[in-house]
Structure formats: C-alpha cells, structure tokens
Amino acid sequence: MHIHHLNCGTFCPRGKLFINGYGGALEAAKLVCHCQLVETREGLVLIDTGLGTQDIKDPDHSLPSSLWRAFNRPVLSYEETAIAQVKAKGFKPEDVRHIVVTHLDFDHAGGLADFPWAKVHVFRRELEEAMSRPTYRDRKRYAPRQFAHNPQWCIYETQGEDWFGFKAVRNLDGVDPDIVMVPLEGHSAGHCGVAVNTEYDWILNCGDAVFSHGEIDGPDRCCPLGLRIYQNIFQYDRSMRMENQKRLRELVHMHGEEIEVFCSHDPEMMTRFANRATERLPPSAYQAAAPGEARLPEMSF
C-alpha cells in the first residue's frame, strides 16, 4: 500500500526557540498537523484529518478562543485541508471510506465533516470524553461542531492482540488488516497510535503521545520548553503519558529496523516522512461510486 503524508494544518506561534528548539525567542515557530492518506485495496483511509473546511471558513465556531488563535497564529488554508489534498492527488473525496483517529482534539478531527459518508474508527473512552466534555480542559480541546454531522462511528475497546509488546486492535471494521490501532493513553482519555504495515516496515503514527522527535530518538529525551508546557496542560493522565513515551523509546531502540515512528506536530518529522516513497496504487484504480458505497480497485495484485 502507498502512504501519502499530509500536513493538514499549520500553526506559527512566536517563540521558535521554545517551540522548535532552535532560532530566536520571538521568531515565528512552525507546527504541523501530520496526517496520512493510505491507499488500500478497499479504498482510501485517512489517519487523522487536521483542520477541515468549516474550521477555515468559520474559525470562531470551530476553533478555540480568539486569544488562542492570536497566540498560535493558524494559517487557515483551504489547500491544507485533507479534502483539498485528496482532490489534488487525483482522487475523489468519496474514495475516502474510512478515517482512523488518534484522538478527537480539534486539530485532529476538524476534517471529519468533510467526509460524512466515511466510517470513523475511535476508542470508546475517547468518544465518550469528547461527547460529554466533563472538564474545562475537555471543553477547550474538543469542538462539538466537528461532530455535528453525526459521524458513522466504529467504536473499539482499548484491548487487542500483541504488537511488539503493545496491545493492538486488529480487524477494524472494513479496514485493511495491515492498519491497526495501538492504545497510547495519557494525552487524552482514549488516545491511540495508528500503525500501518507497508512493504518495507511498520509506520506508527503516535499522534500526540509525544510532541517532538527528541522525545523518541534524541539522546537526552528532550522536548522544547513550550511543548512541554502544552503537554502538561492538556494531559489526561501524566503517569500513563510518561509510561507510553518510555515504551515508544524502547520500541524504537529495540525494533528500529522494523518500525518507524512519528508524531503529529513536529515539522522535521513531517519533512522526513513526506519524502518517503512506497508502492503506489494509481488514482485510476478507483471507480466512481456514490458516497458510502463499496468500491474496489480494478487491478490485480
């Protein structure tokens, strides 16, 4: 299968030194919303969606307060939305039949409404927290408008088969079996990673389990100060978050030749993975079909 790495949202807060770990204290930093578009035999699968078209058109109702936007300075570009990038690659939006989310924070779930026919795969605890929003933190991280179209939820428990020492949910409803959800709770109640088995190795999108490549492959497990503060503010369970970070480092150390790991907001990792090349199915492999209909590629494997 082929994986396209998409940046579906750019943020440019001041303080590059404290956000990216280099540069000036007042210089504009860069954060991304690293999503994936996976070509499978059964159609396209999105892993996270970043910001969506309604976030771009009306950020007052979809995104946090104007004060938050003034600080984080989102680019708000239609061309960065998942649906625009799907079209730009020669696919039809209806080819996206499944969306697997690492979690439902507003900067990961904003594009759900752009694909209302798609099944959305999520852990039960994450969905319950996003719908009830019991705390002030939850009311800031989850945006109800992004779910107002009543998505076709496919709900899973945080348990499954062994995957390199982690538990992984296999046989997601209608999804290629080489795509699995890996529980990585801590940042949010039902946060997960999403692993894809390619021709070459596994690629694990660990979402917001970490915020910087230095936390995974850096010798001193470093994370810039600004990102550490953000993680501590929005963490659901610190002990679980720190334990899963430790396990991810061990995973990379022990299985680095079999598994590659990236997180959602690190621009260096975005650049690294966007330059990857794997076996690709051409857009012509997909026939036109109405939203929600099954559509199989017309090609042999």
In a domain, 139, yes or no: yes
What are 190-212's pLDDT values in tens digits?
999 999 999 889 999 999 999 99
201 lies in some domain: yes
What distance lies between CA 28 and its chain's CA centroid? 23
Give a yes or no: residue 83 inside a domain.
yes
Closest by CA to 267, choosing from 36, 10, 4, 3, is 10
How many domains are there within the chain?
1
- Residue 288 domain flag: no
Q: Is 295 inside a domain boundary?
A: no
208 domain residue, yes or no: yes
Question: What residue ranges of the chain have pLDDT lower than 70?
Answer: 218-220, 276-301
* Domain with 208 in it: 2-277
> Is 205 within the bounds of a domain?
yes
Residue-wise pLDDT for 210-234, tens only, equals 999 999 886 667 899 999 999 999 9
Q: What is the pLDDT of residue 220?
A: 64
The domain that contains 187 carries what CATH number?
3.60.15.10
Predicted pLDDT of residue 284: 45
Residue at 271 is within a domain: yes
What pLDDT is recorded for position 199? 84
